[in-house]
Each structure stands twice: as C-alpha cells, then as structure tokens.
C-alpha cells in the first residue's frame, strides 16, 4: 500500500501485455526547438511545440505502452483531448532543466511545481527524472535528489522512472581518461539500488559494434542494474537503434523509452501527420516486435 492507503501501482500501467516496455519520449523542451531550427524550420513558439507533440501522441500513442511529456508544452492538451488510448500510460517529466538555447542540458533538478502536493496528477501513471551523473563534488547531492524523487513518486501514488545520463568532468576530458561505458555501469551500481520503479539507461557503446559486442556490453549493464531497466535513444543514431534495443533486450533489458530515434527526421516537415504515419509509425512497429519477442518481462527482471 502507498502512503495514501491505496494499492501501489505496478509497471503494468506503462508496459506491454507481455511485460516489456515500448515507450515514446516527447518531453524535449529547448532541445526540440533547436532541432526545428537545425531542420530549417525556425524555433517554434509555444503553440508550435504543442502542435508537434500532440501530433506525435496521436500517431504513436496507439502503438506505445507509455508516453512521456512535460507539463509546459502538451500535458494539458494530451489529458484534455484524451489523445492516449487506455493501453498507453501517461508519464510526466518531473525535471527542471538548466539549459541555454541551442546548448545541451547542463544540470537538472526536481520541478517544484510537479513536486507540490497540490499539483494535479490526474491520469499520470509515472513521473520521470533526468539526472546528469558526474564524478564531481556534487555526486552525493545527486544521489539525494534521486532518493527524494523516488520518495515523491511513492507519496503521490505514481511510478518513478529514473534516467541518469553520464557526463564527463573537465578534468576527465583533459586527462583523456573518460570512459562513457564505464561511467554508465558505475552510475547504475550507484543509483539503481535506490529502487526506482524503472531505471532508464544509456545504450552501451552508443549502439555501435558487432551484434556480439553490443549484446555482451548490454549483459554487463544488466548485471550492474538492480531491478527492471530500459534504454534511451540519446547518443544512438536512429538507424542503429533497432539493433541496440534488440541487444539490450537480449542483455536483460525490458524495452525502451525513446524519442529522437523515433521522430527526429520528422521535425520541421510541412506535413507532420503524413511523415509520422510513413516514417515513425513503421519504425515503432518494428521496435514493438523486438520488445514483445526479446525483452525480459519486468516482473522477471
């Protein structure tokens, strides 16, 4: 039971019937505006962002087991208009991002609006926190942030999806001793024992290498993670993502939660609905087939 006395939710709320995950991420904020600009379509205003995100929800929601969005650009429309079918659980980003226009995210913190007791989580099945993991003086503070986030989810009767993304320190880069795959494993050993409902990890080797190399690297990651885990598409070329998901599932993952690998080449197109139907829907269908066939069901993870 949760603190409210209600039965705690299970991961079935955002999972496929067989227990794997095929989830779509649409919580990008400044990075999505940058993608539009890079595609030659200019930086969209608020309405343009909402229009793209709701188009993705309509096109991919029927195939997805979960759909991730942020509170400022699209949450209200997705809930109000009932864009997601019953089999697609709504996931809300609970992270506030420190990010300059055109630049990568520099740090994250808990969105205190989402964290407030009065914030309306009607229809939300899970909340997600992006956490930038570094070997620096703030490492323990980030562990405490993750712990607070997981506790908040339990208090609000929703699932917690923890997404650590590893970053090098300037010292590691200047010394030439940055090993991203080693950092992914170290972060998993440090953070997954906090027991979020679901751990979201970067793909080892950035999804590159032979099938055997990638599978073995994913097996190492699976051994480092406590509890069920999925992979994200950040850092993996979209053409490599299908193979990366297959290798991750063979290595113990329960599926994926991905955005760019599904729709990045649709951004800025004049007929978004058609492009999503012709490009992104078949791409997601192939990924769902892999998850249903290869993923470790979350109850067995």
4 pLDDT exceeds 70?
no
For helices 211-224 and 241-250, the axis angle rounded to 10 degrees is: 50
Q: Give pLDDT, residue 7.
A: 67
The contacts found for 140-149 with CB under 8 angstroms, 24 or more apart, are 143/190, 143/191, 143/194, 145/109, 145/110, 146/191, 146/194, 146/196, 147/194, 148/110, 149/94, 149/110, 149/196
For residue range 124-152, what is the model confidence (pLDDT) as tens digits? Answer: 999 999 999 999 999 999 999 999 999 99
CATH architecture of the domain with range 11-300: Alpha-Beta Barrel (3.20)
Rounded Cα–Cα distance for residues 99 and 109 (Å): 12
Q: How far is CA 262 from the centre of its chain?
A: 12
Spans of all domains in the chain? 11-300
β strands within 61-218, DSSP E: 66-69, 89-93, 95-98, 107-110, 124-133, 159-166, 198-201
- Residue 209's pLDDT is what? 93
- The upper half-sphere exposure of residue 83, i.e. CA atoms within 13 Å in the direction of its Cβ, equals 25
Place of tokens 């990075």: 31
151 vs 2, which has greater pLDDT?
151
Give me 38's structure tokens. Answer: 């890079």
| Cβ–Cβ under 8 Å, residues 300 and 15 | no
Mean pLDDT computed over 150-175: 96
Place of tokens 């999505």: 32
* Tens digit of each residue's pLDDT (9 = 90 or more) over 254-288: 999 999 999 999 999 999 999 999 999 999 999 99
- Residues designated as active site: 200
- Ranking 6-15, 62-71, 132-141, 195-204 by mean pLDDT, the lowest is 6-15
Indicate the pTM of the whole model: 0.96
Burial of 293 (0-12, 13-18, 19+ CB in 10 A): exposed
């Amino acid at each position: 039971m949760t603190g409210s006395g209600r039965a705690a939710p299970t991961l079935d709320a955002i999972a496929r019937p067989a227990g794997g995950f095929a989830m779509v991420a649409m919580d990008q904020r400044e990075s999505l505006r940058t993608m539009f600009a890079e595609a030659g379509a200019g930086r969209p205003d608020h309405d343009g962002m909402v229009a793209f995100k709701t188009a993705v929800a309509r096109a991919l929601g029927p195939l997805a087991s979960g759909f991730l969005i942020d509170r400022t650009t699209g949450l209200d429309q997705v809930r109000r208009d009932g864009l997601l079918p019953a089999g697609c659980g709504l996931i809300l980003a609970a992270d506030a991002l420190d990010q300059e226009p055109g630049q990568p995210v520099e740090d994250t913190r808990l969105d205190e609006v989402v964290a407030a007791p009065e914030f309306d989580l009607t229809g939300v099945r899970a909340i997600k926190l992006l956490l930038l993991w570094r070997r620096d003086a703030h490492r323990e503070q980030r562990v405490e942030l993750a712990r607070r986030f997981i506790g908040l989810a339990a208090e609000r009767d929703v699932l917690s999806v923890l997404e650590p993304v590893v970053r090098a320190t300037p010292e590691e880069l200047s010394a030439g001793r940055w090993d991203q795959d080693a950092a992914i494993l170290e972060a998993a050993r440090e953070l997954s024992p906090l027991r979020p409902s679901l751990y979201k990890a970067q793909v080892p080797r950035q999804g590159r290498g032979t099938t055997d190399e990638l599978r073995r690297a994913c097996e190492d990651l699976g051994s480092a993670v406590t509890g069920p885990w999925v992979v994200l598409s950040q850092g993996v070329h979209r053409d490599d993502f299908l193979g990366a998901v297959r290798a991750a599932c063979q290595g113990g993952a329960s599926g994926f939660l991905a955005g760019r690998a599904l729709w990045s080449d649709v951004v800025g197109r004049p007929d978004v609905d058609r492009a999503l139907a012709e490009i992104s829907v078949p791409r997601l269908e192939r990924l769902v087939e892999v998850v249903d066939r290869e993923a470790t069901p979350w109850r067995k993870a």
